[in-house]
Amino acid sequence: MKEIVRIFFFLLFCFFLTDPSLAWRKWEYINPSDVEISIIPKENEIVSGKEATFVIKVRNRTDKSINIDFSTGQRWDMSVFHDGTEIWRWANNLSWLESPHSIPLSPETPLTQIMKWTTIDRLGNPLPTGIYRIQGTLKCSPRPLVSNLADIRLLPPIQSEIKTIKINLFQTFEISLPRVIKSGEVIWKTEYDYNDNRIEEVSSDSTEKERIIRFKGLRTGHVTIRFYAFPQYKTIGETLERRSVRVEVE
């Protein structure tokens, strides 16, 4: 008899393991796979020190309405990471009353929340430039649900308006950049928007005061070239200046 009971409970255990839809019900109020949470930045690049805006969206992936339960008055949170370390959390130093409640979530209408982050440090100074990663959280009970990680780039102040250069197909043109900024020699990193082989860098050289980069137009269309200046032996995350040039190949 004892052997039969042991076999019964073993088979029951295996049943729950092979059917996740039953297993999660033992401790969850909703199946996490039924809910999709995502975070999207309003702008992928902003000048450091400014306010960044994000939209957190929670979508019901089923065909029936479900209830989202909360153990306190807090429903949302957002974290910012830099180089794998959390440097800011929206809910830090905030508190909520113990007020359990629930809200319905229908398949037709997602739940959305706008969150903001001012890109300054504890002393009020603009954060170092570079890539930061942001993650949203739905503080539901008994387990919070977290979103994807969204990237945002913090930029140094724009030094000048975007310059436009018009060239003919296969024409070569030059961009001159300063070698010294703030009494120190800098390295310029080049990035492109919508290049798709429209232009290519063909050569570069330096004078005492400038770095000269030569490009060639290969296909018709427009390209934005972004130049980031950062000190020698440093990373692009410590950018001192950025400049943008729009190139129109005719």
107 touches 64 (CB < 8 A): yes
Mean pLDDT, rounded, for 108-113: 93
- Alpha-carbon Rg of the chain, whole angstroms? 26
138 touches 37 (CB < 8 A): yes
* 31/237: higher pLDDT: 31
Average pLDDT over all residues of the chain: 85
Over pLDDT 70: what percentage of the chain? 84
Mean pLDDT, rounded, for 64-81: 93
Q: How far apart are CA 47 and CA 9, in angstroms?
A: 61
Look at residue 128 in the predicted model and tell me its pLDDT.
84
Domains and CATH numbers, the chain: 1-29 (no CATH), 31-155 (2.60.40.2360), 163-249 (2.60.40.2020)
Mean pLDDT, rounded, for 29-37: 79
Q: How far apart are CA 116 and CA 201, in angstroms?
A: 38
3-state secondary structure of 214: strand
31 touches 24 (CB < 8 A): yes
199 touches 168 (CB < 8 A): no
pLDDT in tens, 96-108: 888 899 999 999 9
41 touches 99 (CB < 8 A): no
Q: Say how many C-beta atoms besides its own lie within 10 A of residue 244's C-beta.
A: 16
Handedness of CA 58, 59, 62, 63 (dihedral sign): positive
pLDDT above 80: residue 82: yes
Over pLDDT 90: what percentage of the chain? 53
pLDDT in tens, 228-237: 888 877 665 5
Q: Is 236 left (phi over 0), alpha (psi -120 to 50) or beta?
A: alpha
* 186/30: higher pLDDT: 186
pLDDT above 80: residue 85: yes
Look at residue 169 in the predicted model and tell me its pLDDT.
95
pLDDT in tens, 178-191: 999 877 888 898 88
Q: Please state whether beta strands 163-167 and 210-217 pair in parallel, antiparallel, or not at all (unpaired).
A: unpaired
Express the helix, strand and coil content of the chain in percent, nearest 5 each.
Answer: 10, 55, 35
Cα–Cα distances (Å) from 125 to 47, 120, 128, in that order, read: 12, 5, 9
Q: Poorest-confidence range of 63-67, 74-78, 86-90?
A: 63-67
* 8/99: higher pLDDT: 99
Look at residue 42 in the predicted model and tell me its pLDDT.
95
Mean pLDDT, rounded, for 8-25: 49
